Structure 1
Amino acid sequence: YLELAGARRVEQEQKRVNVDFPVWMVHSLDKEAKRLGIPRQSLIKILIARHLEHTGA
């Protein structure tokens, strides 16, 4: 079992971005984050990272 919630690439510069989500999406993200026991922001990072790895971006 690998916990990606706190994972960070070594020596990677961070950049803050603001994203607006529909309310229904925030509710869904919160529900899944609660199920996994992680913060919403961590879940969003995991989902985006998985997508980028899958697409080879």
Structure 2
Amino acid sequence: MSEAPERSWCVKRLDDNGNEFVLRDGLTRAEAERLVAEYQARGHKQSYWVERVPVL
């Protein structure tokens, strides 16, 4: 499996009601992981994660 294009990652959030949102896209994996770490460090109840954006 080949690596996805450099800027094909996004940060997603799951809120208290089970709704999933894309917070930012067009990121490198490292940028997305840093952003998730920042959000998690704030202590919010929501879940944050990095996901690869499908390449069409």
Tell me if both proteins adopt one fold, taking TM over 0.5 as the criterion.
no
Q: Name the one with the larger helix percent.
A: 1
Q: Which has the larger Rg?
A: 1
**TM-score bracket relative to the smaller structure:** 0.3 to 0.5
Q: Name the one with the larger strand percent.
A: 2
TM-score, normalising length from structure 1?
0.32
